[in-house]
Chains A and B, each alone.
Chain A
C-alpha cells in the first residue's frame, strides 16, 4: 500500500464546475505539497501546507493533520486547469508522492 493515496484517479468536469481532489497519507509528515503536472512533464508547485488552509486565485488547499488528509479545490474550473495534480509529503528526509489525479475540464 502506498503511503500517499489520491482520489479520484481520473476526473472529467465541465467548464465552471467546482473540483475537489483528495489526498490521504499514512505517515507522520512535516509538510504536504500540491503539484501540477502538464502534458510533457513540466511540474509547477502550487501549495505547501503544514496546517490549515491556503488560497491562491481559484485554487484552495486544506489539510487536516489529525485525519492525515488534504484536499485541493478548484473553483470555476477552466479547460486550462486540465493537468495531473500530485500530492507529495515530506516524511523524515524522504519524499513520498501520490500517483496523481488526471483532471480534464471540457469547454
Chain B
C-alpha cells in the first residue's frame, strides 16, 4: 500500500505565473483535501474533493482551483501568483473526509514566489 505522494517537492515561481501541484492519494481513498501552510502558522483549508466533485472550500479566491481524477489523484492550480502564496502546500487523503478516523498527509510541496 503506497502512501500519499506530492510533486514537486520544491518549486520557485515569479509573481503572475501559474503553478500546478499534484497529489496521489493513498490507495482506495476517495477524498482529497488541500491546505496552505505559511511559515510559522497552522494549515489553512483550501478545498476538498470527494469522488471528483468539490465538497467544501475554505476562504481562498477563485484563482485557487482544483481537480480530482477518476483514480482519485488530484491537482491544485494557482493562477496569477502573488508573493503571499509562498507556503507549504499539503494534501491529505482519506476514505470519506474529516469525519473519518485518519487523514493521511503527503510530505508537501514548498512553493516560493519571487
- For chain B, residues 81 to 114, give those with C-beta under 8 angstroms from any C-beta of chain A: 88, 90, 92, 98-105, 107-108, 110
- State how many residues of chain A have any CB contact under 8 Å with chain B: 24
Surface stretch bound by B, among A57-65, A73-81, A89-97: A89-97
Question: What is the CA–CA distance of A17 and B91 in the complex, to the nearest angstrom?
Answer: 33
* Contact A100:B42 (CB < 8 A) given known A42-B105, A94-B58, A95-B58: yes
A-B pair count, CB < 8 Å, reads 67
Main secondary structure of the interface of A (DSSP, over half): strand
Which residues of the other chain, B, contact A45 by a CB distance below 8 angstroms? 101-105
**Chain B residues with CB below 8 A from A98, complex form:** 42
A-to-B contact residues, CB < 8 Å: 4, 30-31, 33, 35, 40-45, 48, 86, 88, 90, 92-100
